[in-house]
Amino acid sequence: MVWRWAWRDRGALAADRGGGSVPRPAGVPEDPDNTSTLVTTIPSVEIVKKQNGPPSVRAGATVSCTITVRNTGSAPTTAAFTDDLSRLLDDAACDDDATATSGRVDYGEPVLSWEGTLAAGGSATVEFSVTTDRRTFGDLRLDNTVTSPTPGSNCPTNHPDIRCTTHGTVITKDKDKTARPGPQGQTRPGVRQERPVDARPIDTRACPAEPRKQDGQGNDLTGADRR
């Protein structure tokens, strides 16, 4: 993005974009013809994040993501981004396999980060993957957003556009979704908690043993009434 300022009429500057006037900036000398030009280049960085494959995956599946950073400006620039994976890691584990076609990529749980220099029109691609839990404890959502501190980026921290966010879901059977017990056995609403099995022994004998009987002379009379 290039802004061109023209100083005219005793130190007034008219912006080519947006109109109006601003004071002559420091460093711009007075011109005998009352006309000077100051050209300022602002970096333009486009970031696009995609979840590869279908948006809904089964528990235990591997999900790969691609983040592309492109310099759409007319001059080289240094760009960076961070990708907080917290909203993924309640349902998945990072495979710690991130790669970048240029620049440097790092992962320190739960944040993936990248930084590099891009030529005008150049780009870098970062890829990584997560594997969803087989027995999940989260919200079954795979939503997350990449942000960038680079001026001119479309993914600023306070207001990233839709290209900076991916959405996904984990498909699982109800019986597979259990919750970690909370304080005093509480669980999250809508999540089933497994109950312990009653471990008391059960008497499986068809007939309990008959008490032994004896007469006054010590003879065994057990079962005598059945003869």
Q: Residue 187: its pLDDT value, please?
A: 47
8 Å CB contact between 102 and 76: no
8 Å CB contact between 126 and 10: no
Q: How far is CA 95 from CA 14, 89, 99, 125, 132, in A?
A: 53, 11, 12, 18, 10
Strand segments, DSSP code E, in the chain are 2-8, 12-15, 21-23, 35-41, 45-51, 56-58, 62-71, 77-84, 92-94, 99-100, 104-108, 111-118, 123-132, 144-147, 165-166, 169-171
CA angle at 82 for the pair 79 and 84, rounded to the nearest 5°: 170
Q: Residue 213: its pLDDT value, please?
A: 64
Q: Residue 167: its pLDDT value, please?
A: 96
Give mean pLDDT in consecutive 10-residue pieces for the chain, a chain of 227 residues.
45 43 56 54 85 95 98 96 96 97 97 98 98 90 96 94 96 65 48 45 54 65 56
Domains defined for the chain, CATH in brackets: 2-41 (no CATH), 45-174 (2.60.40.1530)
Q: Residue 9: its pLDDT value, please?
A: 43
Burial bucket for residue 69 (CB in 10 Å: 0-12, 13-18, 19+):
buried
Burial bucket for residue 11 (CB in 10 Å: 0-12, 13-18, 19+):
middle
What gap in Å lies between CA 19 and CA 113, rounded to an integer?
39
Place of tokens 């005793």: 10
Strands 111-118 and 92-94: unpaired
Dump pLDDT digits (tens) for 183-218: 454 544 444 444 444 445 555 555 555 566 666 666
Q: Residue 135: its pLDDT value, please?
A: 86
